[in-house]
Amino acid sequence: MLKSDPWARLRTAFDDDRDADTFFLRLERYGPDLQGSLRAVYGDRADPLFDRLIEVMLHAFHARPADLRRLDEARLLRPDWLQTPDMIGYIAYADRFAGTLKGVAEHLDYLQGLGVKYLHLMPLLKPRAGENDGGYAVQDYRAVREDLGTMDDLSALARGLRGRGVSLVLDLVLNHVAREHEWAEKARAGEPKYRDYFHIYPDRALPDAYERTLPEVFPDFAPGNFTWDDAAGGWVWTTFNAYQWDLNWANPDVFLEFADLILYLANRGVEVFRLDAIAFIWKRLGGASQNQPEVHHLTRALRAAARIVAPGVAFKAEAIVAPADLIHYLGTRSHHGKVSDMAYHNSLMVQIWSTLASRNTRLFEEALRAFPPKPTNTTWGMYVRCHDDIGWAISDEDAARAGLSGEAHRRFLSDFYSGEFPGSFARGLVFQFNPATGDRRISGSGASLAGLETALEAGDAGRVDDAVRRLLLAHAVVLGFGGVPLLYMGDELAMLNDSGFTEVPEHAPDNRWVHRPKMDWELAEKVATEPDSPAGRVNAGLRHLIRVRQDTPHLHASIESHVVPSPDGRVLLLRRDHPLGVMVQVYNFSEGEVDFPAHLLRDHLGEHATDLLGGSAFTFGHYPVHLEPYRALWLVSREVQG
């Protein structure tokens, strides 16, 4: 515990003893985590940094609005607020969804009607002009894109959302800033302080040494990891694009800048920060410069600082890495449950699409078994689709245990979802083909990848039925897995690929825009009056899944889903052990009918069970359980009165 004496001088900064007590109690609670991680990263530079950080935190604490302070107290009483079954997420680009931030505010009834309690608006802080990596090349973290509105509009939207119980989620790009950012401008002007904010080398000696082990993120249009800049007179580390300058987190000033930015945006009403490109922020010669131990110390320190000032705020790690690396973003050993509150379960998404293509769940089972248990106070973010491409993150080890070649299966999936594989139902585009590795990622909307686009073009009602069932099965897995299900804008309407993206010059080089269409509000209005249309069926089915989830305590995210070995390779079984009883989920990943052995379900649930999704009662006797194509069951034990 921290002693109070060292902070006696700071009490003069408070007019209210209760505020002082609140601040110092939180400092006593989170200060050891904060100081410990700073010392682990910065050594003897940590104590001066901590003193400066205290001043930043005090300023933000005093500036925190009263309604957000009340939210902080509520969250301290409900620390599992991100884990409850009624937490439904929605991801959208503000301009693609409704034009402006004020336009988003005009559609809150729609979001609330879907059950949304978590709204992630894709990058909206001011990016560089022109090409900007979809908004991830930020020029000013304290300003909103001019076409979307102002920072005051953002605060007003956050208040409106908060009044409806919806949390605003915002991207915070940690690894890099735009070349036009004020820090980079000052670095190019030769200011020593700001040159040390970046990795700038006078010649190719060190860049070439790093390049020997660094992967390429965008080999097609941004090969290499360093860019020569004439004004800076050096080679600048640019992992993603030439106009995105990587930051030097070994400099304590960079940490202080981001702590200040997080607290500023938290006071504007941001409740969840998506920590973009978090895996890349620490550089080390001789490796991939990803997932370094310092990354987790830095995240823990930022989280501790936020907990002191704004404990209503949560962190989500955007770390698309292997399971053995991913768990560290939620915390292991001394970091257990103290790093990020949430992380993307990218593997779940990959395995859903892999299994829909192969109609075989063995790899899915092996991939889930590879995940170590997460801290019980953290949660997964699960999704069927998102704004990004799909990279086939399938390990050779998992594939081998499933009797597959990892390389061959990844090649099959790229062929299948680009429509090149014979008999494929999918309509996707290859993104970033890397001849050296054979890596081919895939772009495409959920509906087009699930076969709806090709089925509609063929006028085949049976194939349309299959595509609708695939989409609903995929969402059932995501909604039932236990975490925060993240619905990607338009998936609730089964929106197809937007082939017109090539007509927008800044979008044309990046085919990920094929699955970033503008929201079809006309279609959103039609689904109620055209319930038999594909969009109407998907929308109604998804709303039903959400309603059932909201009423199912077994889906609290503190509980993990575990694989149950399935005797039928087409069927995935997941078990959840909740205090209210066992829940078993059954998913048929094929277009064929399956007669599933009843005794296996009886072993887990007893003789009687209820399917929460269909409302059906089951008695597990001698007859098998019949599963229609792409059928999902959420089974819980049912007591029968004698």
Q: Which residues are catalytically annotated? A: 276, 318
How far apart CA 484 and CA 505 sit, in angstroms, is 35
DSSP annotation of 486: E
Tell the residue number behind the tokens 């390429």, with chain if given: 216
HEC states along 123-155?
A: CCEEECCCCCHHHCCEEEEEEECCCCCCHHHHH
> Nearest Cα to 552, choosing from 84, 111, 162?
84
Q: Are 131 and 141 in contact (CB under 8 A)?
A: no
Q: Count of CB atoms within 10 A of residue 565's CB?
A: 9
How far apart CA 477 and CA 348 sit, in angstroms, is 9
How far apart CA 78 and CA 528 sit, in angstroms, is 36
* Burial of residue 341 (number of CB atoms within 10 Å: 0-12, 13-18, 19+): buried
What lies within 8 Å, CB to CB, of 231 at 6+ separation is: 188, 189
* Burial of residue 33 (number of CB atoms within 10 Å: 0-12, 13-18, 19+): buried
Paired sense of beta strands 167-173 and 429-434, if any: unpaired
Q: Are 411 and 359 in contact (CB under 8 A)?
A: no
Q: Are 479 and 545 in contact (CB under 8 A)?
A: yes
Tell the residue number behind the tokens 């490109």, with chain if given: 277
DSSP annotation of 518: P
Q: What single-letter amino acid sits at 464?
A: V
Largest Cα–Cα separation, the chain: 85
Q: Are 247 and 281 in contact (CB under 8 A)?
A: yes
Q: Which ranges of 402-512 does DSSP label H, i.e. alpha helix?
A: 406-417, 446-449, 452-458, 461-480
Tokens standing for 433? 């083909």
Paired sense of beta strands 125-127 and 226-229, if any: unpaired
Q: Are 229 and 188 in contact (CB under 8 A)?
A: yes
Q: Are 414 and 392 in contact (CB under 8 A)?
A: yes
Q: Any bridge partners for residue 594, and if so which?
A: 627
Please give the full DSSP string across 345-368, using - where no structure is assigned.
-HHHHHHHHHHHHH---HHHHHHH
How far apart CA 197 and CA 256 sit, in angstroms, is 11
Tokens standing for 500? 């017109």
DSSP annotation of 3: -
What lies within 8 Å, CB to CB, of 68 at 6+ separation is: 266, 267, 269, 310, 312
Q: Are 518 and 44 in contact (CB under 8 A)?
A: no
Tokens standing for 552? 């199912």
How far apart CA 449 and CA 58 sit, in angstroms, is 50
